[in-house]
Amino acid sequence: MSGHDSKYFSTTKKGEIPELKEELNSQYKDKKKDAVKKVIAAMTVGKDVSSLFTDVVNCMQTENLELKKLVYLYLINYAKSQPDLAILAVNTFVKDSQDPNPLIRALAVRTMGCIRVDKITEYLCDPLQRCLKDDDPYVRKTAAICVAKLYDINAELVEDRGFLDTLKDLISDNNPMVVANAVAALAEIQENSTRPIFEITSHTLTKLLTALNECTEWGQVFILDALSRYKAADAREAENIVERVTPRLQHANCAVVLSAVKMILQQMELITSTDVVRNLCKKMAPPLVTLLSAEPEIQYVALRNINLIVQKRPTILAHEIKVFFCKYNDPIYVKMEKLEIMIKLASDRNIDQVLLEFKEYATEVDVDFVRKAVRAIGRCAIKLERAAERCISVLLELIKIKVNYVVQEAIIVIKDIFRRYPNTYESIIATLCESLDTLDEPEAKASMIWIIGEYAERIDNADELLESFLESFPEEPALVQLQLLTATVKLFLKKPTEGPQQMIQVVLNNATVETDNPDLRDRAYIYWRLLSTDPEAAKDVVLAEKPVISDDSNNLDPSLLDELLANIATLSSVYHKPPEAFVSRVKSATSRSDEDDYPEGGETAYSESPSHGINNAHTASHAAPKQPAPAPAPPAPAAPVPDLLGDLMGMDNALVPVDQPSTTSGPPLPVLLPASTGQGLQISGQLLRRDGQIFYGLMFENNSQTALDGFMIQFNKNTFGLASAGPLQVAQVPPGGAARTLLPMVMYQNLSQGPPGTLLQVAVKNNQQPVWYFNDKFSLHVFFSEDGRMERTSFLETWKSIPDTNEIAKDLTSAIIQSIDSTIENLAASNVFFVAKRRNANKEVLYLTCKGPKAVPFLIELTAAIGVPGVKCAVKTPSPELAPLFFEAMESLLK
């Protein structure tokens, strides 16, 4: 080849596109090839060369592989925007998939799988079927990955055509590349499916462990990661697995090593022999340390993982603390992680060495690192009682250098040391006070003030010191104000002399009248009241002995730690977050919806309602990179917001239309026992849901001549086992009077058998009348819980995971949708949450979800014409027996 590729970027006078068109249709092969290269060059710099689609596709029929590859590259890029033209290429693809040259066969299948156009997918199945059984391993391994591609586009097609079984057969292929790709494809498919597709049995386990030795490094990682889902039956099997995996620890590829470590750690949980465990720990240490000789990027990943490992099994690296000492040329992100691990591994045995290091770090240039080093010294003091004194003397040495941020950081940790070892190291307070006027960071100031207040009786001029801070009280940040308030109160309680007395006046005045910070105000009022009513009690409260702290600032919660350890060698173990906190795999079908305009009524073209779209508004124009939704999503703001005051007053507006003014008497409740039946007593009531809790809203109206008291209530067995959570709280009701109450209810107390129903049989008695029995029919929606919101992706997945036989539809003849937005709002108020909508012909289709009793999900599809009575409601749920009740509820909600 003469010249280089950059010449293809040059532009011409004539106008690029026509010239390229001409060249693409040239009869000379070389000219053609050069032209395609120019097209690709234009494509890679973002120019739109899609208008050349036909001309480029015409170059596809060539024996020249170099040219063919270029055309395919072009096709992958533009097929989606030109789906109709892409069909032109199908014939050549199908032909190529039967070419005698295996490279061409593989290339055809690989490329077809990358073209995400439905029409092409149909034609892909037959070539794929053939290629999965091809003689050439290069073709088979390409076909294996292609199954995963196809699954991503059309999962049903893959299952219908039996590709999954063929794929499973490939696990036993004699070529390790094929095995590796088959494993990778199956693992991905499993991850996106709720059905068990790729289950590791002890049989597959053996097969894969054997393949492990033959595979490329990447294949080894696929296999190890797939196997890490396997739960060994007993300690012996676990030991066997570990034995097979241990040699991987010596692999030059760090990913293989980490995946092997993950596998071993998991099996170790089952191994009972302490000798074996000890031996394994010993074997894992050198490879883990060796990871720290790799590139800094890998070191970072290794350190984040080691951080987790040492929390669970500190012995593995207990003797290796030296390797975590920072090198001066380590990137800052590596240094920070090393510090964290050094603290975790610090012990009485090595603390002197560690302190020497920390002291060095504390004089380095990088401010963040220096601060962390100072804090590390403090944390070691808290962690190791016997070393505390040495740590403190190092801190004092650092304070003497008088570097401002070092001093402030040191004071912050010394406050914690005082909490950990009360009344032990006060002798250093004098030294701390020397730096008083240099403090300008809120946390350091607050810490110093806390120390002064806590030890006011031992600091001769404590009042002067505090007074110096008081002058600027109004300007201080809240953190400092709160500490000043408390410290002044402490001072006053310890030295109730004139000075402090005046100070306390000033502070309390400042903190109550002059502030608009409610925390500060409330605390000040409490102190004030305590001091004015009972100073002794104030002493007991304010000067009470504090619980001793321990250093757990960077230790993870054990359950989280276990989850993260199960995810060693993944991003999860680097972020120290469970996978669901950051993984938001968008199902490809929906993610692409916005790139192309889907025709109206397209099955997958969901859009989001304005109220729900706020979180994602900024990404809506992209391929929907959804953030994990902030868990429990707050109800739509437009819904009738529960009124705090109203709650306190025991009134209820959850079911009232927003425009109805709520009065103290509350909304009318359906009458259950008319006065005519109840000898003048009228009982109205309804089940209500409020803040996730079910109540029975009841009203007793006494139209009789005598006062009624001693009300009691009882419920008969019912489908959902509803019963009162406590006694009925109704005081005497005078003649002509009425009483309202909200009776908290519990579920699953007295369950009845038989078909599900929403009938509640209630008995009420009082001291004056016979027992009254009445029936109440409630609506299922009182059980719909506030956390029923669902992401589109999980909606789709859940929909798929429920068998079609569980889908039930009904025409709700009396229901009506007057306006989409208000319907969505109203439903959200009853915890039926909007997921997506689309138009189909002249009808609106809404997708909603809610969570019923026992967290059973209901996936709802409503089809209706706006303003026309009659709504078709289809529901898919794992509990189809509840469907009739559900329809009743929906009908009542949609009136």
Partner 1 sequence: MISQFFVLSQRGDNIVFRDYRGEVQKGSAEIFFRKVKFWKGEEADEEAPPVFNVDGVNYIHVKVAGLLFVATTRVNVSPSFVLELLQRIARIIKDYLGVLNEDSLRKNFVLVYELLDEVIDFGYPQTTSTEVLKSYIFNEPYVVDSGRLPPLGPAAMFMQSTKRMPGTAVTKSVVANEPGGRKREEIFVDIIEKISVTFSSSGYILTSEIDGTIQMKSYLTGNPEIRLALNEDLSIGKSGTSAYDYRSSSGGGTVLLDDCNFHESVHLDSFDIDRTLSLVPPDGEFSVMNYRMTQEFKPPFRINALIEEAGAYKAEVILKVHAEFSPTVTANTISVQMPVPSYTTRVSFELEAGAVGQTTDFKEANRRLEWCLKKIVGGSEHTLRAKLTFTQEAHGNITREAGPVSMNFTIPMYNASKLQVKYLQIAKKSQSYNPYRWVRYVTQSNSYVARL
Nearer to partner 1 among residue 68 and residue 523 (C-beta): 68
Say how far apart CA 567 and CA 263 lie, in whole Å.
10
- Is 663 strand, coil or helix? coil
Task: Considering only residues 396 through 435, tell me which ones interact with partner 1, judged by CB under 8 A.
Answer: 397, 400-402
CB of 320 to partner 1, least distance (A): 10
The answer to whether 323 contacts partner 1 (rule: CB under 8 A) is yes
Choice between 68 and 740, CB closer to partner 1: 68
Nearer to partner 1 (CB atom), residue 300 or residue 418: 300
* CA pair distance 514, 507, nearest whole angstrom: 10
Q: Which candidate, 670, 783, 764, places its Cα nearest to that of 722?
A: 783
Q: Which stretch binds partner 1 (CB under 8 A): 85-93, 257-265, 491-499, 509-517?
A: 257-265
Q: Give the residue with the Cβ less far from partner 1, 8 or 425.
A: 8
Distance in Å, CB of 300 to partner 1, minimum: 6
| Residue indicated by tokens 């789709």 | 796
Asked if 10 is part of the footprint of partner 1 (rule: CB under 8 A), the reply reads no
User: Which residue stretch of 202-210, 255-263, 269-277, 646-654 sits at the interface with partner 1 (rule: CB under 8 A)?
Assistant: 255-263
In one letter, which amino acid is 710?
Answer: G
93 close to 61: Cβ distance less than 8 angstroms: no
Residue type for position 262: K
What amino acid is encoded at 585 in this protein? R
> How distant, in Å, are the alpha carbons of 626, 749, 818 from that of 783?
29, 15, 25
Q: Scanning residues 555 to 614, which ones bind partner 1 (CB under 8 A)? A: 567, 569-572, 574-575, 579, 582-586, 588, 591-592
Structure tokens at 574: 């680097």
Q: Provide the greatest CA pair distance for the chain.
A: 112
Near partner 1 by CB under 8 A: residue from 302, 564, 733, 762: 302
Going across the sheet that includes 671-673, the strands are 671-673, 681-690, 693-702, 738-746, 723-724
Between CA 454 and CA 785 the distance in angstroms is 48
Site string for partner 1, 336-375 (x = CB under 8 A): --------------------x---x--x-x--x-------
| Interface positions, 90-119, toward partner 1 (CB under 8 A) | 103, 110, 113-114, 116
* CA 797 to chain CA centroid, nearest Å: 17
- Quote the DSSP letter at residue 607: B
Torsion angles phi and psi, residue 733, rounded to 5: -105, 115
Residues that contact partner 1, how many (by CB under 8 A): 105
Distances (CA, A) of 7 to 3, 4, 27, 352, 527: 7, 6, 21, 64, 80
Contacting partner 1 within 119-148 (CB under 8 A): 141-142, 145-146, 148
Comparison of 70 and 503: residue with beta carbon closer to partner 1: 70
Are 452 and 423 spatial neighbours (Cβ–Cβ below 8 Å)? Answer: no
Binding positions for partner 1, 478-507, rule CB under 8 A: none
Q: Is 327 in the site for partner 1 (CB under 8 A)?
A: yes
As beta bridge partners, residue 463 has: none
Contact pattern from residue 737 through residue 776 relative to partner 1, giving x for each residue in contact according to CB under 8 A and a dash for the rest: ----------------------------------------
CB 625 within 8 A of CB 586: yes
Is 301 among the residues that bind partner 1 (CB under 8 A)?
yes
**Measured from the CB atom, is 272 or 404 closer to partner 1?**
404
Listed in sequence order, the residues at least 6 apart from 840 whose beta carbon sits closer than 8 Å to its beta carbon are 600, 601, 863
Residue 458 · residue 427 · CB < 8 Å? no
Binds partner 1 by CB under 8 A, chosen from 625, 657, 668, 670:
625
Which one of 326-334, 493-501, 509-517, 791-799 is the stretch in contact with partner 1 (CB under 8 A)? 326-334
83 belongs to the binding site for partner 1 (CB under 8 A): no
Out of 221, 351, 565, 728, point to the residue binding partner 1 (CB under 8 A): 221
Q: Give the interface segment with partner 1, choosing from 125-133, 245-253, 388-396, 814-822 (CB under 8 A).
A: 245-253
253 CB contacts (<8 Å, ≥6 apart)? Answer: 217, 220, 221
> Footprint of partner 1 on residues 153-192 (CB under 8 A)?
177, 181, 184, 188, 191
Q: Which stretch binds partner 1 (CB under 8 A): 167-175, 298-306, 425-433, 668-676?
A: 298-306
Do residues 885 and 756 lie in contact, with contact meaning Cβ atoms separated by under 8 Å?
yes
Residues 42-81 that bind partner 1 (CB under 8 A): 44, 65-66, 69-70, 73
Asked whether position 218 contacts partner 1 by CB under 8 A, the answer is yes
